[in-house]
Amino acid sequence: MEVKKKIKRVIGLFAISAKMDLLWLLRDTRYALAGIAGEAVSNLSVVSGVWLIAIRFGGIGGMSVDEVLFMMSYSTLVTGLFILFGSGNNIHISRIIGRGQLEHLFMQPNSLKMQLITGGFVPFTGCSNFIIGCILLIVSITRLQLQVTLWWMVRLIAHLTATMAIIIARSYLVSTAAFYAPVEAEEISTAAIEGTWQLSTFPLSGMPAFIQLPLLTILPEGLMAWFPALCLLGKPPLNLTEYYPFAYALVLALAAKYFFRKGMNWYVTKGSNRYVPYGFRR
Amino acid sequence: MYHTDFAVNVNNVTKTFIQWQRDNTGKGLIRNLIKPEKRKITALDNVSFTIGKGEFVAYAGPNGAGKSTTMKLLTGMLLPDSGDISVLSLSPQKQRAKLMEHLGILFGNRTELWWDHPVIQSFEWKKVVWGIPDDVYKRNLDMLIELLDIGKLLKTFARELSLGQRMRADLAMMLLHSPEVILRPLQGSQHHKLRFR
């Protein structure tokens, strides 16, 4: 019964986030549509830049043009999911912590976890990259003549989930700094995620191992699109198992959970004397 | 063990903070680099009080006396160093989400309204997030429109409201779920109001 109530509440929270997003879009539709179009063009330009290089040179580092396109579609899908579910600073959590805005969340009669899962859902203003990603995926699958089975779809969803878990865990891990230094670390998750985001759209095939390995361990940009795309194409690189991203996501998520909980304890023990009113409600 | 007769039960609560100190002399700046000076502030020192249901209490004291700290402790935003707190027989530390179904709090320096939406949309948002039944929501909304004279503000975007209008809208939003305990800290003043029913 309790679980049923929780599920109902989560669905309700997703629905109200979606409604707020739609009403925000309709507030000034011209500017909203211009923003959405701008974001889509920006993302397409990133994707097409790499793809055009691949066409010019007949592939990159052993990956064919269509394989590069497939990797780009995966990368666009990840960006799309990030925007679709993380537009309320719920992934860029250092902003909420650093601005002392966790208190807004404490006032609500729902667990923090539930609020953070549902609070950034923007299916209307944030869907463009996801849709483009889906289109690119279909085009690349067709060109590659991939056999799309149910098992392959499950693997795709699992890899996307692992990639999102890595992004979120990395953000929450570095964002713990905002508990201790709210002013200095307010934007640390932006720096951690978006500072190296561009790297994730480049095929690392053909690069020497001393470049590939750090990008699969210290900075997991290789796990954002390159590694999972090759796994889905049946060519896991560097003789690593296809399950490597899942193991990485698990370890990172556990570390993030441990340190974030410690930071949260610090926050409710020491308090935050830094409240910034902007940015909490759009 | 908490007493159910009381709306609020604060028992031997102590809360301390550490404040950074620095003077602006050259020596002070260098010392800050090596060994920053810190001062221990005891915001609440073994404080105990109870407030019964239906009581209306003004919580007053000089600046820095620990009024805001008390409010944050009562809402689970802060944890005490020692002592016990219960509000409506619930522990703010361990049952915060449950407590928030019955508690209303409004800090003067912040708003719960959605900035780029009409006031009524923030109210609709609260209805869903708090799970307020339709009849309760409608009854309270009608009452608050009349009491706080906010009928003309409902379609206005929160961003466009004057400070006084925003405060009235925020107050209405705080009351929408029929809170049993209301905490109303007044910004920068030397008293806070608590209302219990």
What would the mean pLDDT of A123-132 be, rounded to a whole number? Answer: 89
* Cβ atoms of A194 and A173 closer than 8 Å: no
Q: And the tokens for B140?
A: 């309270």
Environment class of residue B152 by beta-carbon count within 10 Å: exposed (0-12), middle (13-18) or buried (19+)? exposed
Q: What is the ipTM of this complex?
A: 0.85
Q: Which helix (H) or strand (E) holds B74?
A: helix B67-74
Is the confidence at residue B190, as pLDDT, over 50? no
What would the mean pLDDT of A3-30 be, rounded to a whole number? Answer: 90
Which residues from chain A sit within 8 angstroms of residue B107, using beta carbons? 103
Q: And the tokens for B58?
A: 């003004």
B8 touching A (Cβ < 8 Å): no
Interface test with A, best of B16, B106, B129, B177 (most A CBs within 10 A): B129
Interface test with A, best of B41, B103, B116, B127 (most A CBs within 10 A): B116
Binary contact (B128, A277; C-beta < 8 A): no
Return d(Cα A159, Cα A245) in angstroms, integer. 8
Is the confidence at residue A81, as pLDDT, over 70? yes
Per-residue model confidence (pLDDT) at position A245: 95
What would the mean pLDDT of A229-237 be, rounded to a whole number? Answer: 93
Binary contact (B116, A281; C-beta < 8 A): yes
Contacts of B130 (CB under 8 A, 6+ apart): A108, A109, B101, B176, B177
pTM: 0.88
Interface test with B, best of A268, A274, A282 (most B CBs within 10 A): A268
Per-residue model confidence (pLDDT) at position B189: 47
Residue of B nearest to A270 (CA): B17
Sheet hosting strand B82-87, strand order edge to edge? B37-52, B6-21, B82-87
Whole-number average pLDDT of chain A: 89
Using CB atoms, pick whichever of A275, A277, A281 lies closest to residue B114.
Answer: A281
* pLDDT band at residue A35 using 50, 70 and 90 as cut-offs: confident
B184 touching A (Cβ < 8 Å): no
DSSP structural state of residue B190? S
* Cβ atoms of A182 and A266 closer than 8 Å: no
Whole-number average pLDDT of chain B: 88
B129 touching A (Cβ < 8 Å): yes
Q: Which helix (H) or strand (E) holds B105?
A: strand B103-105
Q: And the tokens for A144?
A: 């590659």
Environment class of residue A89 by beta-carbon count within 10 Å: exposed (0-12), middle (13-18) or buried (19+)? buried
Q: Which helix (H) or strand (E) holds B100?
A: helix B96-100
Per-residue model confidence (pLDDT) at position A53: 83
Which residues from chain A sit within 8 angstroms of residue B161, using beta carbons? none
* Cβ atoms of B103 and B176 closer than 8 Å: no
Per-residue model confidence (pLDDT) at position A55: 83
Listed residue (A191, A252, A256) closest to A223, CA to CA:
A252
Return d(Cα B57, Cα B194) in angstroms, integer. 5
Which residues from chain A sit within 8 angstroms of residue B97, using beta carbons? 108-111
A2 vs chain B: nearest CA distance in angstroms? 13
Using CB atoms, pick whichever of A108, A269, A277 lies closest to residue B129.
Answer: A108
Interface test with A, best of B90, B123, B128 (most A CBs within 10 A): B128
Residue B191's SS3 state is strand
Q: What is the pLDDT of residues B77-120, one digit of tens each?
A: 999 999 999 999 999 999 999 999 999 998 877 889 998 899 99
Binary contact (A268, B17; C-beta < 8 A): no
Q: What is the pLDDT of residues A243-268, one digit of tens each?
A: 999 999 999 999 999 999 999 999 99
Residue A257's SS3 state is helix
Residue of B nearest to A110 (CA): B97
* pLDDT band at residue A200 using 50, 70 and 90 as cut-offs: confident
Q: And the tokens for A29?
A: 């539709």
Q: And the tokens for B133?
A: 């039944």
A282 touching B (Cβ < 8 Å): yes
More confident site: A11 or B185: A11
Residue of B nearest to A102 (CA): B77
